[in-house]
Chains A and B, each alone.
Chain A
Amino acid sequence: EIVLTQSPGTLSLSPGERATLSCRASQSVSSTYLAWYQQKPGQAPRLLIHSASSRATGIPDRFSGSGSGTDFTLTISRLEPEDSAVYYCQQYGSSPPWTFGQGTKVEIK
């Protein structure tokens, strides 16, 4: 089973700043089968990025994903107040289970 470790645990930034979230896998994630999700309190998660760098339908271009192998990054280029949420990475490249990271909380000052 691939273990995903996200860092930092919490990120506290001001509107307009750039957020960089990391997701590290315990073994290589094949063919960049890596997704990022956003979850706001009391809501279901929402898919932001799939295939490591492709934005899902309707996702603003301030969200971008990059990386390969064992190291992946979600970047929010200019934070807005509504970006306050927990962000999860997930791999779906190996045989199931398709694991999630433990999450990074983004707080807007």
Chain B
Amino acid sequence: EVQLVQSGAEVKKPGESLKISCKGSGYSFTSYWIGWVRQMPGKGLEWMGIIYPNDSDTRYSPSFQGQVTISADKSISTAYLQWSSLKASDTAMYYCARLYSGSYRSALGYWGQGSLVTVSS
């Protein structure tokens, strides 16, 4: 069974750094792209970027390029989303999701449970 398990909720202050994780199991981690999606409180889904864990090839949405860093450690089947300096506007639920097929162009087929990030002074 494909599973993506994300790290828990975080409460941070503006200016702090953060790295959240997404651990895949039940499939070959290096064979499928993983994406990250933001959902701000009461709002819709925003596509942030994707990474191919086998070689760490990464593509970002222009809206998030330079604002976050997506990475992966294939030795422990884990993808990451990190911020160097959080803002209050980063408060949101963040989902990781594995692409449905092994193709680069594929829907987001398997989702993690979400990681809630709250940034408040």
Report how far A93 CA is from B46 CA in the complex, Å: 16
Report how far A60 CA is from B50 CA in the complex, Å: 29
Evaluate contact between B47 and A99: CB separation under 8 angstroms: yes
User: Please, how many residues of chain B have a CB less than 8 angstroms from a CB on the other chain?
Assistant: 25
Q: Does B49 contact A (CB under 8 A)?
A: yes
User: Please, how many residues of chain A have a CB less than 8 angstroms from a CB on the other chain?
Assistant: 26
User: Shortest Cβ distance from A44 into chain B, in angstroms?
Assistant: 4
Interface of B, helix, strand, loop or mixed by DSSP: strand
Evaluate contact between B113 and A33: CB separation under 8 angstroms: no
Evaluate contact between A50 and B44: CB separation under 8 angstroms: no
Q: Which residue of A lies closest to B2 (CB)?
A: A57
User: Shortest Cβ distance from B12 into chain A, in angstroms?
Assistant: 22
Q: Across the interface, which residues of A come within 8 angstroms of B105, CB to CB? A: 31, 33, 92-93
Q: Does B61 contact A (CB under 8 A)?
A: yes
Q: Across the interface, which residues of A come within 8 angstroms of B37, CB to CB? A: 45
Report how far A96 CA is from B61 CA in the complex, Å: 6
Evaluate contact between B107 and A46: CB separation under 8 angstroms: no
Q: Which residues of chain A have a CB within 8 Å of any CB of chain B?
A: 1, 31, 33, 35, 37, 39, 44-47, 50-51, 56, 86, 88, 90, 92-93, 96-103
Apart from A97-B61, A100-B44, what 10 extra A-B contacts exist at CB < 8 Å? A35-B108, A45-B108, A47-B107, A47-B108, A47-B110, A50-B107, A51-B107, A90-B47, A90-B107, A96-B50
